[in-house]
Amino acid sequence: MAYLDAASTEPLHPAARDALLAAIDAGWADPARLYGTARRAQMLLERARAEVAELIGARPDEVSFTSSGTQAVHLGVLGTLAGRRRAGNRLVASAVEHSSVLHAGALHERDGGEVEIVGVSRTGRVDAGAFAEAVARPGTALACLQTANHEVGTLQPVEEAARACREAGVPLLVDAAQSAGRLPIPEGWSVLTASAHKWGGPAGVGVLAVRKGVRWRSPLPEDERERRRVPGFENVPAIVAAAAALRARWEEAEAEGRRLSALVDRIRAEVPRLVPDVEVVGDPVLRLPHVVTFSCLYVEGEALLTELDKAGFAVSSGSSCTASTLRPSHVLEAMGVLTHGNVRVSLPRGVSEDDIDRFLAVLPDIVRRIRSSLGVH
Amino acid sequence: MWRRRTGGDTRRSSGTARAAAQAEPAGPVEPPQQPALTIDALGRKCPIPIIMLAERINQVAMGGVVAVLADDPAAFTDVPAWCRLKSHEHVGSYELPQGGWSIHVRRNY
């Protein structure tokens, strides 16, 4: 099977596997205790923290490990809103943020807060001017912007947003889940979140970095772990593996990113040539190196995924009938592009060119068959 | 019975909702042109409403309007997107009292 769903989760990096196996033996004890094995676990944990901090451009004491990227976002959003209560109660976010940001915003609204959503262009890029205006309105406690969109790959104007936030004195939470380990972390964040399994680390490790001087108060009950930011016993072996994967992925990022980006360019050019009535969505240039998304008119997304699976391809879709809810993807909706017949292809490290050739070879006939089953010829 | 919807959806939060409320006239809005053909796609999931539209748009004269009645939330985005891809005109989407929309499309060619 050709795995083309790296944006959902990247397969474990070999460097992470080696580190994980070693740390399961060496780092199992409670890092908060004072005997030898515990000190060893603590040393591994702090070494991983220093490594991740260096790679994301933070100080080690600004970095906490969470149990997922989603938890990092929940704690980042709600904790900063709680810390900034005196400054205001408005959260500003783009319309295409990950659901973890929007769901944290919905909870904030249920608690009496305000949420302002900033729209995006047809390519999914947030309007930096509108974002700056929204941030500058009095009472803004926090702004959130992703580095890159998880469904269509479009990069966001994070540095412009950071400038606007700095001028307005508003902290900016940057969700780097899709780009960490692949692209440099943009400057200017106040709170940064990421997820290890997206860069080839194990599942169950998220990163929450809070810049020194940013007011943050835990929205959860008191707990002493992770500088009082994240409750619960740290998964030291997984954290060690996450740091090893981030280091290894980052060292390969430039060369592998260039290779994957060329394959994405090929898919972007070939799919509309081979399949009639297809729209490739997302920014063609300002994009992640490994993600491409297109929508096929007159095709049900679920049928397309099922047929591609039978042909040996694992891909994902933002179409409503394939999601857990009946709503179409909020990202595609906000962009105003076709929400049905949607396919996201995201290339993992080391994907072979043959797999892409084969994908382009089978796709036209699969789309034709599904269309003809619906009476479209 | 007509209330114009220019974009977005009910999930949108306060800021956008407020901006939209200011931009839109209060109360019912009549569509500018009565449809020459109405396609009932209520209860049908996307892409079926789009397929029905594509099959039947040539039944109206050039410049005529087709109304697609649909209640799959995907249709609210997908019919205008189809118009853009196929160079027809999305005239407007009007909320139906029973839920869903009447989505008006003008045949351009």
CB A71 within 8 A of CB A186: no
Beta-carbon pairs below 8 A across chains A and B: 84
Verify whether the Cβ–Cβ distance B16 to A117 is below 8 Å: yes
CB A114 within 8 A of CB A89: yes
Give me the residues paired with residue B104 across strands.
B67, B92
* Residues of chain A contacting residue B50, judged by C-beta atoms under 8 Å apart: 297-298, 340
Calpha distance A134→A84 (Å, rounded): 17
- Residues of B catalogued as catalytic: 46
Mean pLDDT of B82-100: 96
Distance from B97 to chain A by nearest Cα, in Å? 20
CA A127 remoteness from chain centre? 20
Tokens of A5: 């769903």
Say yes or no to pLDDT of A310 above 60.
Answer: yes
Q: What is the pLDDT of residues A251-291, one digit of tens each?
A: 999 999 999 999 999 999 999 999 999 999 999 999 999 99
Distance from A178 to chain B by nearest Cα, in Å? 24
Say yes or no to pLDDT of B15 above 90.
Answer: no
Share of chain A above pLDDT 90, in %: 95
Say yes or no to pLDDT of A124 above 70.
Answer: yes
Instruction: Of A122, A55, A112, give the one whose Cα is nearest residue A81.
Output: A112
Q: Identify the contact set of chain A against chain B, taking CB-CB distances under 8 A.
A: 92, 105, 109, 114-117, 119, 134, 277, 279, 297-300, 319-321, 326-328, 330, 332-333, 336-341, 374-376
Domains of chain A: 2-6+252-373 (3.90.1150.10), 14-248 (3.40.640.10)
Is residue B100 classed as helix, strand or coil in its secondary structure?
A: coil
Verify whether the Cβ–Cβ distance A115 to B14 is below 8 Å: yes
Chain B: residue whose CA lies nearest to A135? B15
Distance from A275 to chain B by nearest Cα, in Å? 14
So what's the pLDDT on residue B33? 84
Residue A321: active-site member = yes
Domains of chain B: 3-106 (3.30.110.40)
So what's the pLDDT on residue A320? 63
Calpha distance A292→A333 (Å, rounded): 17
- Name B49's Cβ contacts closer than 8 Å, sequence gap at least 6: B39, B41, B68, B70, B72, B75, B78, B79
| Angle (deg, nearest 10), helices A69-83 and A99-110 | 40
Say yes or no to pLDDT of B109 above 90.
Answer: yes
CB B69 within 8 A of CB B41: yes
The model's confidence at residue A372, banded by pLDDT at 50, 70 and 90, is very high
Mean pLDDT of A169-185: 98
CB A338 within 8 A of CB B81: yes
Say yes or no to pLDDT of A356 above 50.
Answer: yes
Residue with tokens 């006239």: B25
* Cβ-nearest to A328 among B16, B51, B73: B73
So what's the pLDDT on residue A324? 53
* Cβ-nearest to A321 among B9, B45, B77: B45
Verify whether the Cβ–Cβ distance A338 to B15 is below 8 Å: no
CB A193 within 8 A of CB A237: no
Calpha distance A228→A278 (Å, rounded): 50
Verify whether the Cβ–Cβ distance A114 to B78 is below 8 Å: no
* Cβ-nearest to B13 among A105, A327, A333: A105
Say yes or no to pLDDT of B20 above 60.
Answer: no
So what's the pLDDT on residue A325? 59
* Residues of chain B contacting residue A374, judged by C-beta atoms under 8 Å apart: 47-48, 51
Per-residue exposure over A288-312, b if at least 16 CB sit within 10 Å of its own CB, e if not: bbbbbbbbbbbbbbbbbbebbeebe
Q: What is the pLDDT of residues A67-94, one digit of tens each?
A: 999 999 999 999 999 999 999 999 999 9
So what's the pLDDT on residue B85? 96
User: Predicted ipTM?
Assistant: 0.89
* Residues of chain A contacting residue B101, judged by C-beta atoms under 8 Å apart: none
So what's the pLDDT on residue A181? 98
Tell me the average pLDDT of chain A: 96
Tell me which amino acid residue B102 is: S
* Residues of chain A contacting residue B77, judged by C-beta atoms under 8 Å apart: 328, 332-333, 336-339
Is residue A191 classed as helix, strand or coil in its secondary structure?
A: strand
Mean pLDDT of A145-161: 98
CB A367 within 8 A of CB A279: no
Calpha distance A361→B91 (Å, rounded): 39
Q: What is the pLDDT of residues A331-348, one digit of tens each?
A: 999 999 999 999 999 999
* Cβ-nearest to A336 among B14, B73, B77: B77
* Residues of chain A contacting residue B82, judged by C-beta atoms under 8 Å apart: 297, 338
Say yes or no to pLDDT of A321 above 60.
Answer: no
Sheet harboring A278-281: ordered strands across? Answer: A278-281, A291-296, A342-346
* Residues of chain B contacting residue A330, judged by C-beta atoms under 8 Å apart: 11
So what's the pLDDT on residue B26? 44
Q: What is the pLDDT of residues A7-44, one digit of tens each?
A: 999 999 999 999 999 999 999 999 999 999 999 999 99
Say yes or no to pLDDT of B16 above 80.
Answer: no
End-to-end CA distance of chain A: 30
The model's confidence at residue A319, banded by pLDDT at 50, 70 and 90, is confident
Mean pLDDT of A123-131: 98
Distance from B6 to chain A by nearest Cα, in Å? 12
The model's confidence at residue A218, banded by pLDDT at 50, 70 and 90, is very high
Say yes or no to pLDDT of B19 above 80.
Answer: no
- Name B48's Cβ contacts closer than 8 Å, sequence gap at least 6: A374, B41
Mean pLDDT of A317-328: 68
CA dihedral B9, B14, B17, B22 (to 10 degrees): 180
For strands A140-146 and A172-175, give the pairing: parallel
Q: What is the pLDDT of residues B40-74, one digit of tens each?
A: 999 999 899 999 999 999 999 999 999 999 999 99
CB A113 within 8 A of CB A138: no
Mean pLDDT of A306-315: 97
